[in-house]
Structure 1
Amino acid sequence: MTPRTDLTGYLTRYPHEAGLGDEDPATVLDRYHTPDFELVNDGVLLDRQRLLDHVRPARKRAAGLRVEVEQALVDGDHVAARYRLVAEMRKGGTVTSEIYMFGELAADGRLRRAVQATRAIPSE
């Protein structure tokens, strides 16, 4: 499974595997992204190392994750999605983010680059 063959599956599986799984975060990242993957999230550039630096502490804070995909589109080497990430925190509370993502795929179907805009929304 790659983002090209199942974008909705990627959007729901990757956060679980990276944020809650027991597998090495680098292995999970490499499964779905190219080695030169870059994420621009709300104007901040995150390369592979910065993403890994973000995932490791997130594993300690999140108790559960849910992804609600509203729209997911693959068109050739481009993807677009609108979805919500709902994180249940270990110390209590819920953090909900609405995410708008646009990306470019490599020839093997993995993500090469993604640009995201996020906004916090009230948790239900």
Structure 2
Amino acid sequence: MRPFHGTDPKKFIADFHESFHDELMNSDEDAGVIVDRYHTPDIVQIADGHRMNRDKLIAHTRPVGKNRPTGRMEVHEAMANGDGGLLLRGVRRRRPDAPGTYADPHRAGDMSASTYVVRGMACGHCAAFVTEELETIAGVTGVAVDVESGTVTVTSDEVLDVAVVRVAVEEAGYEFVPKT
């Protein structure tokens, strides 16, 4: 990747994210090593309002292969300051077929609502990946994800088999934490 100096900030950021994504997708190298090439402690990255430190970025890479084998970075605004820093507002687009809907889990009627603990979620994209997988379970009528608390509430027509919920969460690339 070429250095920032003299490059349009929007292009630099888009290229940076595309290069990072491509390395994660096409390399057998450990994700931590790749993250270390792109992330330094002085870079503040915020995804959907959540500060992404090194550990969160590494955890965030786990579901990338499944959930975002292709994608693009849309940079809406990018500005360079006099110290060589960048400020940007942009979005990484999900794969085209991912619905990313959030249903209300507290709808009225004869439904079951269960809350589960899920580790590894760091932002709204993580929530969307988990939601997408859980919505494929027969009978699920709603999914509400709280990234901050690491909980997922699933509303369904009837009580769900916990093993089926676990498989869906793990398929999304996250860790299902059994109730104790």
Give the TM-score normalised by structure 1.
0.54
Structure 2 counterparts to residues 1-124 of structure 1, below 5 A: 1=1, 4-5=4-5, 6-18=12-24, 20-22=25-27, 23-34=29-40, 39-75=45-81, 76-88=83-95, 93-94=97-98
User: What one-letter code is carried by the residue in structure 1 that aligns with 2:17?
Assistant: L
Q: Which runs of 4+ in 1 moved over 4 A?
A: 35-38
- Preserved contact between residue 71 and residue 82 of structure 1 (Cα < 8 Å): yes
- Aligned to 2:19, what secondary structure does the other structure show? helix
Aligned equivalent of 1:112: none
- Preserved contact between residue 32 and residue 58 of structure 2 (Cα < 8 Å): yes
- Aligned to 1:9, what secondary structure does the other structure show? helix
1:39-61 CA-partner distances (Å, limit 9, x unpaired): 33334233211211111122222
User: What one-letter code is carried by the residue in structure 2 that aligns with 1:73?
Assistant: M
Counterparts of 1:10 and 1:45, CA distance in 2? 18
Offset, 1:38: 5.0
Counterparts of 2:69 and 2:14, CA distance in 1? 22
- Preserved contact between residue 38 and residue 48 of structure 1 (Cα < 8 Å): no
Between structures 1 and 2, the one with greater strand share: 1
Counterparts of 2:91 and 2:79, CA distance in 1? 15
- Preserved contact between residue 78 and residue 87 of structure 2 (Cα < 8 Å): yes
Offset, 1:30: 1.4
- Aligned to 1:67, what secondary structure does the other structure show? strand
Q: Across the two proteins, how many residue pairs are aligned to each other?
A: 95
The unaligned stretches of length 5 or more in structure 1 are: 97-117
Between structures 1 and 2, the one with greater helix share: 2
Offset, 1:94: 3.5
Distance 1:37 1:71, change over 3 A: closer
Offset, 1:87: 2.1
The unaligned stretches of length 5 or more in structure 2 are: 6-11, 101-124, 129-180
Offset, 1:72: 2.6
